[in-house]
A = this chain, B = another copy of it.
Amino acid sequence: MLIVMKPEASDAQVEEVLKIIRDLGFKPHPMPGATRTAIGITGNQGAIDPAHFEMLSGVAEAIRVSKPYKLVGRDLKQDDTVVRVGDVEIGGSEPAIIAGPCAVETYDQTMAIAEIVASCGVKLFRGGAFKPRTSPYAFQGLGEEGLKILAEARDRFGLSIVTEVLDTETADLVEEYADVMQVGARNMQNFSLLRRVGQARKPVMLKRGMSATLDELLLAAEYIMAEGNYNVILCERGVRTFADHTRNTLDLSIVPAVQNRSHLPIIVDPSHGTGKRHKVIPLARAAVAAGADGIMVEVHNHPEQALSDGPQALLPDMFKQLVAEVHAIHKVIAEAEARLG
């Protein structure tokens, strides 16, 4: 914490602030400047709320310095976390690909898409059985029936299942069937749900909220880790901005930013970020080039019949091509990184 006094602050006001800092058990470091005094604070264990100091007489501003998270940070753990799902590593040396329909709609649709996904050598299969929908009148998913279909796709095609957990009520069910429990963007700060998946024995994929800062994303992951579940995968899926040419603005700069501060792997979902198929492929390529640990895309055999989010789903041929490109782009990057040392 750094406290900046107003230029006109009196010596008595500075003294009062120093006293309050000492009373809190911290150590103040006054730095008189040409026009104003600043006061550094050390000795605090966690983050202090700057606002507590901004109310004091003579204080112009209080600036937070320490980061409020612990378990997710590189300060505590320098090595990258690798999350293992079946025989796939997320955060390892190869980019992970997660693919499947937005929602599980029917048995036949799911098996058809699972077959396509598996035939491309992809092992992680996504599909929603419980769907968060903006309108109460929209299709809400098949529920447990959907989970059972996913489980059968797993058995038949040797896939691992990534599926969303919407609430604590259905968390037991989802934990039973899923290999990775996905927490959606709207639930990124549903703290009860974060605690619940923190107690689960399955890895968690945590999507960034629509207007979540990097710190908020990392603190949401901290909620999960604080309960004992260290297998957390972060996921960028686009944020809310003024821009109106896409549904959300995919923020690829968060990939290196996360990698700088946290050991957790981060993947990118360009399907929801862009909302349209012709933008999904360029942005999936870009995500891998930006260094993401993987991508999650929607694939559909008949996207024009999809009950949700059809227009952003890739056709089977496009997907097959994309898988090859992801590996080719990753190879370019990996070789470059190796050369740079």
**Which A residues are within 8 Å of any B CB, using their own CB?**
2, 4, 7, 29, 31-35, 38, 40, 42-43, 45-47, 51-52, 54-56, 61, 63, 65, 68-69, 75, 132-137, 166-169, 186-187, 189-193, 209-211, 213-216, 219, 222-223, 226, 239-246, 249-257, 260, 273-279, 282-283, 285-291, 303-304, 309-312, 317-318, 321, 324-325, 328-329, 332-333, 336, 339-340
Query: Which residues on the B side are within 8 Å of A65 (C-beta)?
Result: 2, 4, 38, 61, 63
A selection of 10 A-B contacts at a CB cut-off of 8 Å is A2-B65, A7-B75, A136-B222, A167-B193, A213-B242, A239-B242, A241-B251, A243-B254, A252-B282, A321-B339
Which of A4, A7, A279 has the largest count of B CB atoms less than 10 A from its CB? A279
Give the contacting residue for A29; candidates B29, B276, B303; CB below 8 A. B29
B34 near A42: Cβ-Cβ < 8 Å = yes
Query: Which residues on the B side are within 8 Å of A288 (C-beta)?
Result: 289
**With A52-B311, A311-B55, A328-B332 as given contacts, are A47 and B135 in contact (CB-CB < 8 Å)?**
yes
B55 near A277: Cβ-Cβ < 8 Å = yes
Query: Which residues on the B side are within 8 Å of A324 (C-beta)?
Result: 336
Q: How far is the CA of A240 from the CA of B193 in the complex (A)?
A: 23
